[in-house]
Amino acid sequence: MFGQDMLFRIPALLLAITVHEYAHGKMADHLGDPTARYAGRLTLNPLAHLDPLGLLMLWLFRFGWAKPVPINPFHFRNRRQGIILVSLAGPAANIIAAFFVLILFKLWPGTGLVVKQILSLCFVYNLYLAVFNLIPVPPLDGSKVLWGFLPESQAYAFSRLENYGPIILILLIYMGVVGRLILPMVGVLSYFLELVTDWLVFGVLYRFLLGF
């Protein structure tokens, strides 16, 4: 588990986590909440976003988290909509990052072994982080998205689970429920990105060759 691949996994993990948390903060800032900016979280410096336990969990089990970006939803013009958009921004950014990594693979297949392994892991970790965070269990992003769509009375009842969310999540991971849930979703998402990337890259190359 702590072999030489650690040298490849750490940069990939840091990139995925940083992209995820930066997107949360950037979206909140865009919607009028400067809390993340004042806290120094609108940065691509990985050290600003690291949660040691979350990083270790992600490294060992591919399920983990970063230090949550602070937000104040009362700054949002529409509180529920703001929370949903901020919550979705992180997973969306991870999927976009995975997409661009895949494009790099297609355009530069001769990339060196070290870079290729880092990019490969970066693709995987971004997809895992995106799908994992969409699980509707507190404190993951999916729980905030679900809260935003629930009627007020149900949203209040659901929010009371927040104190027990981490325990529930750890139990689900331990029992293998999370793995069985997200692995197929990661596979489907990976296949879809492959199709889109192939269509985009080969379409561009085809048009380029037609120009000669």
CA-only gyration radius of the chain, Å: 18
Which listed residue (21, 152, 162, 194) is catalytic?
Answer: 21
pTM given for the model: 0.87
Question: What are the counts of helices (DSSP H) followed by strands (DSSP E) for the chain?
Answer: 9, 0
Task: Respond yes or no: is residue 21 known to be catalytic.
Answer: yes
Query: At 157, which amino acid appears?
Result: A
The pLDDT profile of the chain, 212 residues, written as one tens digit per residue, is 445 566 677 788 888 989 999 999 999 999 999 999 999 999 999 888 888 777 677 667 655 667 889 999 999 999 999 999 999 999 999 999 999 999 888 777 656 677 778 888 899 999 999 999 999 998 899 999 999 999 988 988 888 888 888 888 888 888 888 888 899 999 999 999 998 888 877 766 656 555 55
The answer to whether the Cα torsion of 7, 118, 137, 44 is positive or negative is positive
Name residue, tokens 């085809």. 206
Beta carbons of 28 and 82 less than 8 angstroms apart: yes
The pair of three-digit structure tokens given for residue 94, joined into one six-digit string:
């991870």
Phi, psi angles (nearest 5°) of residue 3: -80, -165
Beta carbons of 70 and 40 less than 8 angstroms apart: no
Name residue, tokens 């949203």. 155
Residue 193 backbone zone (phi > 0: left; psi -120 to 50: alpha; other: beta): alpha
Beta carbons of 178 and 166 less than 8 angstroms apart: no
d(CA 197, CA 131): 19
